[in-house]
């Protein structure tokens, strides 16, 4: 599959050469990344996917006031809500009325109005595609009794809105509804289908020629408290996460730390490395303005280019395995 990079904590530093040089598709945060930054990426011939959460409200986003009344149920993975998802709540995405792209904005449900505005903003910033997250509210606890049909209707709406601006739309996770929306989306983004044993759900989608941008998370993608570790066992990580449907399935896989900063590891035998990023003043760091443990982890992860380069070389040398030599070649040229 095509090599891609996803960075949702800070933004790529476009003032200097970008690594990896052969990643032609970049998934970045819609709010934190400026029109100038996106323009600089596109000047390099890169395709830019713009991420935003469509199924949840995030209390650090500038349009949160428009969504606050329509959120229910904390998106947390612990009882005290001190996790990475602090400040995030499932949204009421229901719409019982018929709609089209010509439907006046004031006649749309409040959440849909906000997403229409966000998609227009993506176009105005120069995004090639949108990556609307959290389409699986039907599979999570909330007071709205969301259904698969609600998510299907919602993703169709966003895809139609994006198409007006010649932007593509991806389905993030929510594999259960993929068969019913695959004709409306141009790509898929998946997190941890290997860990969750669900990669087979993408077989038909891949066979249709559409790409799946696949992310697996590993503790080895984060730093030790000393701040110097990258991927401690490259061979083990690639063996575990690469080619989940076999070498001919052409998954576009990247192995990351959960903070989604600049670090990357691919399945083509190339060196692991780190894209240099810059913090945008006043931004939420993409994933969470409040930060919590993930913000602390990200600060611990920052390493200098010299440290990263030296350690990457050491790790790669120690991890040259038979699996690497037989790894499939990335870069099929899939468009988004």
pLDDT tens profile 4-61: 999 999 999 999 999 999 999 999 999 999 999 999 999 999 999 999 999 999 989 9
- Percent of the residues in the chain that have a pLDDT greater than 90, as a whole number: 60
The tokens for 24 are 């032609």
pLDDT for res 74: 54
Residue 59 exposed, middle or buried by CB count within 10 Å (0-12, 13-18, 19+) = middle
Establish whether the linkage from the previous residue to 194 is cis, with ω within 30° of 0: no
Fold of domain 4-278 = TIM Barrel (3.20.20)
Domain boundaries, the chain: 4-278
Judged against a pLDDT cut of 60, whether residue 281 lies above it is answered with no
Neighbours of 42 (CB within 10 A): 15
Contacts of 326 (CB under 8 A, 6+ apart): none
For 190, phi then psi, to 5°, come to -125, 140
Establish whether the linkage from the previous residue to 104 is cis, with ω within 30° of 0: no
């Amino acid at each position: 599959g095509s090599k891609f990079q996803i960075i949702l904590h800070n933004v790529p530093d476009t003032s200097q050469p970008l690594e990896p040089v052969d990643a032609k598709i970049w998934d970045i945060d819609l709010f934190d990344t400026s029109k100038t930054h996106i323009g600089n990426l596109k000047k390099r011939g890169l395709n830019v996917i713009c991420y935003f959460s469509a199924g949840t409200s995030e209390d650090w986003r500038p349009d949160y006031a428009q969504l606050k009344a329509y959120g229910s149920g904390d998106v947390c993975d612990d009882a005290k809500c001190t996790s990475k998802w602090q400040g995030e709540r499932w949204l009421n995405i229901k719409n019982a009325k018929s709609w089209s792209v010509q439907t006046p904005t004031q006649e749309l449900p409040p959440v849909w109005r906000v997403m229409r505005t966000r998609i227009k903003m993506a176009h105005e910033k120069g995004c090639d595609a949108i990556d609307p997250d959290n389409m699986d509210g039907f599979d999570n606890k909330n007071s709205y009794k969301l259904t698969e049909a609600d998510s299907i209707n919602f993703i169709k709406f966003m895809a139609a809105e994006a198409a007006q601006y010649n932007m593509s739309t991806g389905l993030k996770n929510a594999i259960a509804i993929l068969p019913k929306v695959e004709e409306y989306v141009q790509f898929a983004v998946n997190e941890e289908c290997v860990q969750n044993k669900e990669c087979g759900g993408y077989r038909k989608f891949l066979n249709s020629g559409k790409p799946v941008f696949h992310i697996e998370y590993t503790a080895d993608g984060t730093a030790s408290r000393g701040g110097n570790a990258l991927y401690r066992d490259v061979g083990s990580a690639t063996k575990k996460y690469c080619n989940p449907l076999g070498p001919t399935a052409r998954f576009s896989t990247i192995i990351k730390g959960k903070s989604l900063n600049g670090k990357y590891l691919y399945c083509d035998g190339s060196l692991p490395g780190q894209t240099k990023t810059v913090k945008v003043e006043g931004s939420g760091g993409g994933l969470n303005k409040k930060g919590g443990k993930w913000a602390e982890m990200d600060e611990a992860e920052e390493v200098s280019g010299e440290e990263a380069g030296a350690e990457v070389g050491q790790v790669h040398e120690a991890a040259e395995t038979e699996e690497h030599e037989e790894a499939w070649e990335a870069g099929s040229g899939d468009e988004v």
